[in-house]
Amino acid sequence: MSRKEGRNLRIALIHVMQETNTFNPLLTTLADFANVAFLEGELMLSRVDPNGPTAGCIDVINSSEFDIQVVPILRADAQSGGRLSSETLSELCRIIQLGLGDGTEFDGLMVFLHGAASADGFDDVEGEVLSAIRQVAKRHIPIALMLDHHANVTHKMMDQVDLLMAFRTQPHDPYETARDLTKIALEIFSKKITPTMAWKKIPMITHQEQFLTASGPMKEWFDLARRFEAEGKALSISLFPMQPWLDVSEAGWSVVVVTDNDQTAAQEIAVELANHAWSKRGQFMVLENMAVTDAIVFADDPEQGKILLSDTGDSVLGGSPGDSTVILEALLAREMQHNSLVPITDPVAARQLASSQIGEMVTLNLGGWSNSFYSPIQVTGRVKAIREGAVFLQGLPQGSVDMGKSAILEVGNVSILVTEFSGVGGIHPDVYRFFDVEPNDFKMFVMKTASNFQYMREITTKFVRVATPGPTQSDVQSLPWSRIPRPMFPLDILEGWSA
Ligand SMILES: [Zn+2]
């Protein structure tokens, strides 16, 4: 960083993001982080993805009045999935502690975490990571924390941070959030302001279908927080509609309010926003999905343009493995007039296809290998293309994704993308262009997401949420809960609650 007028500040950067789906039984390991990003020390700054939080933070640092030395510690990003193995969690904590040394040299820490990560034996990964940081960075060193707004905020997290800010939009805005967080953090690190925080937990979870912040009750709730900020009532307000596949002991929605040393105001705003969400709980539960057969018939209708079929139960961005066969089986069982693209994760099938010849006819079992929500199916098709390695995806916060060994298998007019790793579940057209397959030439697209439709928007007309079972299914009431605190809306009758 260049020399500037004013104080010198020394700031560490720590970034660990994985969203856990506790209904996915597959453990997440260091290899899963390596597939997206695992960059220790200075390597962290060798790959700054333009839409990621580090870019937002660095841009503010570069234009600040302070002379700032940035100390990159670790960037570890993994695709959403099952709980981290306990070895993975301890290795992440070990690297962070090693990088921080004795911690005394820092004026502040910028920490970018997801907030909904769990590990084998640890419900609250972020609480553990922050505790590991606090073991070396003593209490007087301020920590500014960024979280995904689908986080589960816990006591252990709140006890250790001085400033917290969550994403403001879904689809998410990590660059902008980290940028705005850093602006406030620099005021704290340079001792210009003394923030105080209040927070409220709300005993509710709701399904994913009203999670977009561009419409409906979520927009109304988020708009209210932005209005309070614009009116100068708080430095920052974070709303947390927790992602609904997290069966952990402190689960639930929450609100966190940061003010400049006004605890009463922070408390009042947190209460008001928590009560607002609670009062809209019925609206948050409105479903907009279609049964599988109805959805594919609708998508096949020539009058309907190009249709995205959202496989809501098997959303890889929500932590499902991407191996559901439910929509694929329906497409193959029915004589569809139009062609379709379907992604599926299957390491065994992907490796088998990668060792075959282009044009070869192969018969193999596909999908349904990871859990009991759905089953494998047998298909016979022609190998159209084979690839391996990382593909850069424009606009994706993590920049690129490695699908491992992968192939396109054509079964009639259904083209199946079979990948060794879950990748991004076919949400981006360049995933297919990597195989010289042009998505524009197709009528229907199965996508393993229930909310990230933005990358396909230019080539599709409409999206349909399909009511499929799986670790990310919309129906939260029929999931096998065991650890979540009770009573919890909508699992229990909970009248008369108020913040
Ligand atoms: Zn999220």
My answer on whether omega of the bond before 25 falls inside 30° of 0, hence cis, is: no
How remote is the CA of residue 241 from the centroid of ligand 1, in Å? Answer: 9
Closest CA to 472 of 130, 22, 53, 143: 22
Tokens 């490695």 sit at which residue?
Answer: 402
Both tokens assigned to 376: 């494998």
> Which tens digit of pLDDT belongs to each residue from 51-78?
999 999 999 999 999 999 999 999 999 9
Q: With a threshold of 0.85, does the pTM exceed it? A: yes
Give the pLDDT confidence score for residue 397 in this predicted structure. Answer: 75
Full DSSP string of 418-479: EESS-TTTT-SHHHHHTTT--GGG-SEEEES-SS--GGGGGG-SEEEEE---STT-S-GGGS
How remote is the CA of residue 355 from the centroid of ligand 1, in Å? Answer: 36
- Residue 41: DSSP 8-state: G
**What is the residue-level pLDDT of the chain in tens, covering all 499 positions?**
444 555 799 999 999 999 999 999 999 999 999 988 999 999 999 999 999 999 999 999 999 999 999 999 999 999 899 999 999 999 999 999 999 998 888 999 999 999 999 999 999 999 999 999 999 998 889 999 999 999 999 999 999 999 999 999 998 999 999 999 999 999 999 999 999 999 999 999 999 989 999 999 999 999 999 999 999 999 999 999 999 999 999 999 999 999 999 999 999 999 999 999 999 999 999 998 999 999 999 999 999 999 999 999 999 988 999 999 999 999 999 989 999 999 999 999 999 999 999 999 999 999 999 998 999 999 999 999 999 988 998 888 777 888 999 999 999 999 999 999 988 889 999 999 999 999 999 999 999 998 888 899 889 889 999 999 999 999 999 999 999 999 999 999 988 899 9
Q: Write the CATH number of the domain with boundaries 8-284.
A: 3.40.50.2300
How remote is the CA of residue 213 from the centroid of ligand 1, in Å? Answer: 11
How remote is the CA of residue 170 from the centroid of ligand 1, in Å? Answer: 7
How remote is the CA of residue 206 from the centroid of ligand 1, in Å? Answer: 14
How remote is the CA of residue 468 from the centroid of ligand 1, in Å? Answer: 20
Backbone angles phi, psi at 33, to 5 degrees: -70, -40
How remote is the CA of residue 168 from the centroid of ligand 1, in Å? Answer: 10
Coil, helix or strand for 31? helix
Where do the structural domains in the chain lie, given as residue ranges?
8-284, 289-474
Average pLDDT, whole number, for the chain? 95
> Which tens digit of pLDDT belongs to each residue from 262-283?
999 999 999 999 999 999 999 9
Give the pLDDT confidence score for residue 451 in this predicted structure. Answer: 81
How remote is the CA of residue 150 from the centroid of ligand 1, in Å? Answer: 5
How remote is the CA of residue 19 from the centroid of ligand 1, in Å? Answer: 8
Give the pLDDT confidence score for residue 3 in this predicted structure. Answer: 46
How remote is the CA of residue 495 from the centroid of ligand 1, in Å? Answer: 29
How remote is the CA of residue 18 from the centroid of ligand 1, in Å? Answer: 10
How remote is the CA of residue 402 from the centroid of ligand 1, in Å? Answer: 20
Full DSSP string of 124-142: -HHHHHHHHHHHHS-TTS-
**Radius of gyration in angstroms for the set of CA atoms belonging to the chain, rounded to a whole number:** 23
Give the pLDDT confidence score for residue 335 in this predicted structure. Answer: 85
Which ranges in 120-240 belong to alpha helices (H)?
Answer: 125-136, 155-158, 174-189, 216-230
How remote is the CA of residue 15 from the centroid of ligand 1, in Å? Answer: 15
Both tokens assigned to 62: 């570069």
Which ranges in 14-52 belong to alpha helices (H)?
Answer: 30-36
Strands 462-466, 236-240: pairing is unpaired
Contact predicate 342/416, CB 8 Å: yes
How remote is the CA of residue 431 from the centroid of ligand 1, in Å? Answer: 21
Please state, in angstroms and rounded to a whole number, the distance separating the CA atoms of residues 7 and 68.
8
Which ranges in 208-319 belong to alpha helices (H)?
Answer: 216-230, 263-279, 281-284, 292-300
